Amino acid sequence: MSLSKDEIERFSRQILLPELATKGQVNLRKSSCLVVGAGGLGSPAALYLAAAGVGRLGILDYDVVEASNLQRQIIHSQQSVGLSKAESAQESIHRLTSFCECIAHTVVLDSTNAIEIISKYDVIVDATDNVATRYLLNDACVLLDKVLVSGSALRLEGQLTVYHYKGGPCYRCLFPTPPPPETVTNCSDGGVLGAVTGIIGCFQALEAIKLLAGMEPAYAQKLLLLDAFSGAIRVVKLRPKNANCAVCGDNPSITQLIDYVQFCGASATDKSVTQHVLNPSERISAIAYKEILKRGDAHILLDVRDKNQFNIAQLPNAVNIPWSALPRQLGQVLDLVGMPDKSGTLETAETAALASSSGVGQKVPVFVLCRLGNDSQLAVKLLKASGVEQVWDIEGGLYAWSDGVDSSFPKY
């Protein structure tokens, strides 16, 4: 129950705190913590946990470091781009301290491996960014009786709470069913300020450090809400444990992990992938579109990203009508392609279809573009339903343009 000379010197500033003291520091040395996600939240959380003297720290992430991560994922550096996030984080922690054994888990956490990995740690920090992994971590922590320190951040807002602490609620008690996938936004679509993830990640480290040192957490059955725009922090009391909860209730129906991707109807890896909504004949490749540009064929290039994204970078002569505004601005597209708008102001695809007899009068084809090629496919469907016949999706959007045609075009 004592500390070495090196430990006393290294951790003196926190041992001086009567709330922590020698006993708390010894507890930290003997403790272990798993940080799931070495991204915006996991970066500061892991650094502070290691610096505080947690004895064994697991860092789990399946992904590699990308340039767009570095604005907030401060455990990684420019030299780590392309490397495994878990290993890059482990390297940073090795540089920071020799008092912490850091273990890198480069895997997708799923139902097949979660119990085995999580059972090796005392406290779990959820620093991930997708609903399927949130339910997975919650259920695994309840089944293994571990406390889960959960955080999230998006745009200028952040949230934090501690689940399943001494009979308190779990994530499922509060959210028995997952949200519809189309209502969930992530940082790669909505953006986030690095300092916001920094604040929430530090709060996660703080709560985990208190738990591991033997102190009471501040946010069990309470939710911290950060509004970084106004600088306000609000604390909301959460409902107590739900006796009917499917995993921690009195008669749980979930006694082992399930298929969380199926349960949530959404991927557990938050990788933006192109979903196929259209037939191949309704799409052209970025390379084929480049040929059209080269030949100088008359056409309209419709970019359906939101205004802010359009202003970041755009192709020459693109017309920007955001996907969210397209139903209201169909008349503008019909004007552009030379199809007279017979209804006056068009409100919906149905009124547009009524107003234009299929394809009649269309003078130029339309090619539709977005960042990854998802919204553009939906826009092509809407335009077709509105009577625009010569309309094609540029497959894979601006990512495909950057990969296949012009590598100087920024991927963001």
Ligand X SMILES: Nc1ncnc2c1ncn2[C@@H]1O[C@H](COP(=O)(O)OP(=O)(O)OP(=O)(O)O)[C@@H](O)[C@H]1O
In eight-state DSSP terms, residue 342 is T
User: What is the nearest approach in angstroms of ligand X to the Cβ of residue 333?
Assistant: 31
Exactly one of 141, 187, 202, 264 is catalytic; which is it?
Answer: 187
Q: Is 102 a catalytic residue?
A: no
CA distance 5 to 243: 49
Q: Is 295 annotated as a binding residue?
A: no
> What token pair was written down for 6?
């090196």
Going by their DSSP bridges, the two strands 318-320 and 391-394 should be labelled as unpaired
Q: Is 102 annotated as a binding residue?
A: no
User: What is the nearest approach in angstroms of ligand X to the Cβ of residue 100?
Assistant: 20
Helix axes 330-337, 375-385, angle to 10 degrees: 70
User: What is the nearest approach in angstroms of ligand X to the Cβ of residue 197?
Assistant: 6
Contact residues toward ligand X (CB under 6 A) are: 37-40, 60-63, 68-69, 73, 85, 108-109, 128-130, 133, 186-188, 268-270
Q: Is 129 annotated as a binding residue?
A: yes
Q: Is 33 annotated as a binding residue?
A: no
User: What is the nearest approach in angstroms of ligand X to the Cβ of residue 352?
Assistant: 35
Q: Is 248 annotated as a binding residue?
A: yes
Looking at the DSSP assignment, which residues form a beta bridge with residue 35? 59, 125
Q: Give the nearer residue to ligand X in terms of CB position, either 114 or 368.
A: 114
First to last CA, the chain: 51
Q: Give the nearer residue to ligand X in terms of CB position, either 242 or 274.
A: 274
Q: Is 173 annotated as a binding residue?
A: yes
Q: Is 100 a catalytic residue?
A: no
Q: Give the nearer residue to ligand X in terms of CB position, either 185 or 329.
A: 185
Q: Give the nearer residue to ligand X in terms of CB position, either 206 or 372.
A: 372
Question: What CA–CA distances, in Å, run from 332 to 264, 279, 329, 338, 353?
Answer: 37, 26, 5, 10, 14
CA distance 41 to 53: 19
Q: Is 70 annotated as a binding residue?
A: yes
User: What is the nearest approach in angstroms of ligand X to the Cβ of residue 68?
Assistant: 6
Question: Looking at beta carbons, which residue is closest to ligand X?
Answer: 39
Going by their DSSP bridges, the two strands 232-237 and 283-284 should be labelled as unpaired
Q: Please identify every residue annotated as catalytic.
A: 187, 370
| Residues tagged in the binding site annotation | 40, 61, 68-72, 85, 129-130, 170, 173, 245, 248
| Residues tagged in the binding site annotation for ATP | 40, 61, 68-72, 85, 129-130
| Residues tagged in the binding site annotation for Zn(2+) | 170, 173, 245, 248
